Amino acid sequence: MFRKMLSSRAAVPVMLVLQIAPLIVFPLSTFTVKSQEWWLPVLLTILVIVAIVQILVRRTTSAAPWRLLAFAQGFNIISRLMMLLPHATQYVGGVQRINGDYLIITIASMLFSAFQIWYVDLPEVRNSVLHSVVDKARA
């Protein structure tokens, strides 16, 4: 039931556009010119946008955009794991404290990326997109 709902023709474009969300959700302090942490989410977002355009606009039947989506989400998980320890604590008034906001955002983003990897690998999702391509070709 859940898989059928997620693979409906209305849900697939929405879920594909939501691929961007776990890539760009960071605390605002991350996106500073002095920090070097901003460029990777931007690069991964560009890759996801290219893949979404290939799937939804150009209606390609190639597996490459689907792999690109999974790559971007997987790399998001890896990069967030690498940044977790350096950002898990912060100094407030000379005392080291747990950075709860960062931890919650990071864990939620990694879980959503894992869900998106599972989602793009569902055969029902790819078939839904392929059926819309075939139906458009017939019309």
For residue 120, what are its two tokens? 């793009």
Token pair 């790819």 is at which residue? Answer: 126
38, part of any domain: yes
pLDDT at position 133: 59
Q: Residue 98: helix, strand or coil by DSSP?
A: strand
pLDDT bucket at 66, cuts 50 / 70 / 90: very high
3, part of any domain: no
Domain limits at 70?
8-24+34-88+107-138
pLDDT at position 7: 85
Number of neighbours of residue 93 by Cβ within 10 angstroms: 5
pTM to 2 decimals?
0.88
- Cα torsion 70, 115, 118, 124 to 10°: value is -110
Do residues 136 and 58 lie in contact, with contact meaning Cβ atoms separated by under 8 Å? no
Do residues 135 and 20 lie in contact, with contact meaning Cβ atoms separated by under 8 Å? no
96, part of any domain: no
68, part of any domain: yes
Could you give the number of structural domains in the chain?
1
In one-letter notation, the amino acid at residue 75 is F
95, part of any domain: no
CA pair distance 130, 119, nearest whole angstrom = 16
51, part of any domain: yes
7 or 74: whose pLDDT is higher?
74
Beta bridge partners of 92: 95
78, part of any domain: yes
93, part of any domain: no
Report the pLDDT averaged over residues 65-88.
94
Report the pLDDT averaged over residues 30-40.
79
